[in-house]
Amino acid sequence: MDRLKGKIAIVTGIGSGIGKGCALRFLAEGATVVGCDLDPVAAAATVQEASQRGLSLDSVHPCNLTRPEDVQALVAHTLQRHGGIDILVNAAAWGAFEFIESMDYQSQWKTTLTGEIDVVFLACQAVWPHMQQRGGGAIINFASANAYQALPGSGALAHCAGKGAVLAMTRQLAMEGGPHRIRANTISPALVVTGATQPRLDNEPGFREAVTAKMMIGRLGTPDDIAWCATYLASDEAGWVTAADFRLDGGATAW
Ligand SMILES: NC(=O)c1ccc[n+]([C@@H]2O[C@H](COP(=O)([O-])OP(=O)(O)OC[C@H]3O[C@@H](n4cnc5c(N)ncnc54)[C@H](O)[C@@H]3O)[C@@H](O)[C@H]2O)c1
């Protein structure tokens, strides 16, 4: 359990789901982890959960990653407290789900693009010079099955735009990072059971059955399914892996 021993990681969105799963897995694999979240109560609960497992999770919360000054404060805290940054996992994101007829331009479309794209750009830009200085680093971004496929019955227009952008920009980041040994990859999950998806799974009749039916492996994803891949991508095992996209989707997009 030391695949990330000696590495310092920033993991965003530790208050829920995939960010939380990655933070706890990285700690178990020996990394020093600084988390953050917009929701201070949720972030503190994850810190507490780590502590109950005998793990020490550092966290900056509340932290709103759409605000450049909050992102800079997160990076400054990590450098001051831990002395460097080797890994950035951009799990935090927020998107509005609405069909085109009723999508509000400012409060839904623009907010989704900011909440899914700007948060990735700002965090990558903030860690970039420090990874350069350190002689390399690993960035893991989250696209989605929705970067490849329409989502029937769901108002995912802005989300598809956001995740398509993350997929494309991560390839470009990998190209720009190559000379500095900064690797950048995406994970594109299909439906993972998290705080973001649980309400719809619980409340919309037939939704859970419909999405599960699309999985070749007949179950939905878990945060740990994703965290194992993130662990690989963050580790030296993936030293030759960059500009790659890992479709972790139980086979859902391969039919
Ligand atoms: N769950 C899925 O099925 C699924 C599928 C494909 C892609 N993804 C992507 O994986 C990532 C994680 O998804 P999840 O389902 O775990 O989400 P989630 O909503 O369960 O957790 C996201 C966390 O990020 C925090 N957050 C949101 N915006 C923030 C901001 N501006 N600043 C700081 N913190 C912020 C939230 O408070 C929350 O705790 C996202 O990028 C998401 O789009 C998820």
Q: What is the pLDDT of residues 18-77, one digit of tens each?
A: 999 999 999 999 999 999 999 999 999 999 999 999 999 999 999 999 999 999 999 999
**d(CA 46, ligand 1 centre) in Å:** 14
- Structural domain spans, the chain: 8-194+222-244
Res. 152: pLDDT tops 90: no
**Residue to probe by mutation, ligand 1, list 11, 12, 18, most atoms within 8 Å of CB:** 18
* CATH class of the region 8-194+222-244: alpha beta
Q: Kindly report the pTM of this predicted structure.
A: 0.98
Q: Is 226 in the pocket of ligand 1 (CB under 6 A)?
A: no
Residue 209: CB partners within 8 Å, gap ≥ 6?
none
Distance CA 158, CA 96 (A): 7
Tens digit of pLDDT for each residue in 102-130?
A: 999 999 999 999 999 999 999 999 999 99
Is the omega angle on the peptide bond into residue 62 within 30 degrees of 0, that is, cis? yes
Q: Whose CA is nearest to atom 7 of ligand 1?
A: 144
Atom of ligand 1 minimally distant from the CA of 146: 6
Distance CA 163, CA 142 (A): 7
